[in-house]
Structures are given as structure tokens and as C-alpha cells.
Amino acid sequence: AQSVAQPEDQVNVAEGNPLTVKCTYSVSGNPYLFWYVQYPNRGLQFLLKYITGDNLVKGSYGFEAEFNKSQTSFHLKKPSALVSDSALYFCAVRLYGSSNTGKLIFGQGTTLQVKP
Amino acid sequence: GAGVSQSPRYKVTKRGQDVALRCDPISGHVSLYWYRQALGQGPEFLTYFNYEAQQDKSGLPNDRFSAERPEGSISTLTIQRTEQRDSAMYRCASSSGQAWNTEAFFGQGTRLTVV
């Protein structure tokens, strides 16, 4: 069965420090990987995606993520955290193939807390 | 529209009543998804439409749940004879085309509370 794991419920980091939010996946085919962010009382907002090509992908608000096929991971990173980055982050995987309808499988979410 | 619009934003209903949740996707988006998100969990897939065709309803939990998208645009998710366990955030998303590499855009969701 396909699944996505975000092993940390919460990540705490000081403003200005680098941040990492972890994500691992388990799929039987070729994965397309996504990160979404959810601010309070807001919908899910797309951050970035990995489809193919360079393992390091860059997205919105200075975020980037590194795809590691051997470790089946897609960790979200940012070199310097801002207090405004504090939010709930979701990793998701979409399966490729004609038998799949493109549905996203989400992880449980990781709360990022950036302290001044 | 500029984004995915869902209505109502909040719905409180009594157990046993039927509810209808509406989703207005981004104009021109052919793919539409419904997800359900319990508190503290990630969204879980319910159903998928390609234009007006419901191509995947494998995530609908039981036959009290149904969805339609009759003209390939606005979609309605209906829950009949609601139960307290149906309480959750219901999210709609749309994406352009059927390409698996396109990102889905989500609405703000409908918070359903069954009392």
C-alpha cells in the first residue's frame, strides 16, 4: 500500500536558523512528490513538487526540497527560517500511471514553530 | 474564479439530516477532487472527477456519501443521514488537465459539525 510518513509531529527552530521537515514515502511505482502548507483558517497552499530531473527542487517562499530515491525521502528545507513560516506542513505523493486517477496521498502533517 | 471556492465555510447539522457541500473549482480546471480531513490528520481522498465523469470514488466511506459534477464545473458532495463521525473538514481541490505532474489547488474547506 502507498503511504507517506512525516515522523515529526512538531519541529521547533529559532528564527534565522535552517529548518528541515522530514518526509518519507512508500510506493510501488514512480512517485510525484508535493509539499503543501496550511496556515490557520486557510486552505492548503502548494509549495513545491518533484516530478523528474534535479533532485533539489525550489519552491515558494524560499523553500526547497531534496528527493532521495535510495532513502525514499523528500525532506523540506529552508536555509533561514522566518517566524511567518510557522504553520502546518504536509507532504504528499501522487502515483503516476493510467490506472491511477492522480489522487494525492498525504502524510499526517508536521507543525513548524519558528521562535523569534 | 480566482481560486477554488467552497460553501458553506461552516455547517452545523443535527444527526440524521442530509447536507450538501459545494465546490466551485478554478475556471477551466478539468480535474476535481474531494478530500476529508480529520483534526490532526492529513487530508484523505474521497472522490475524483474528470470533467463531469466520476472516475474514482474509492475513498467514499459508505453509501451515505455521494458526489456529482453534472456540467463539469461545480461539484456537490452530499452526505445523507449524517452521523457524528462525519464531523470533519471537507476540502475540494482542482487541477488543470489530467497530467499527474500538475499541482492541485485547494479551497478553504467546509467545516462540518454533526451534533
Write the pLDDT tens digit of every residue in A27-76: 877 788 999 999 987 889 999 999 888 899 999 999 999 999 999 999 99
Cβ–Cβ contact B100 with A under 8 A:
yes
In this structure, are residues A47 and A63 in contact, taking their beta carbons and an 8 Å threshold?
yes
Give the Cα separation of B45 and B92 in Å (integer): 10
pLDDT (tens digit per residue) in B65-81: 999 999 999 999 999 99
A/B interface, count of CB pairs below 8 Å: 63
Residue-level pLDDT at A43: 85
* Residue of higher predicted confidence among A113 and B97: A113
Cβ–Cβ contact A34 with B under 8 A:
yes
In this structure, are residues B44 and A109 in contact, taking their beta carbons and an 8 Å threshold?
no
Q: What is the helix (H) or strand (E) element at residue B114, kind and residue range? A: strand B110-114
Q: What does DSSP assign to residue B103? A: P
Give yes or no for residue B105 having a pLDDT over 70: yes
Give yes or no for residue A98 having a pLDDT over 60: no
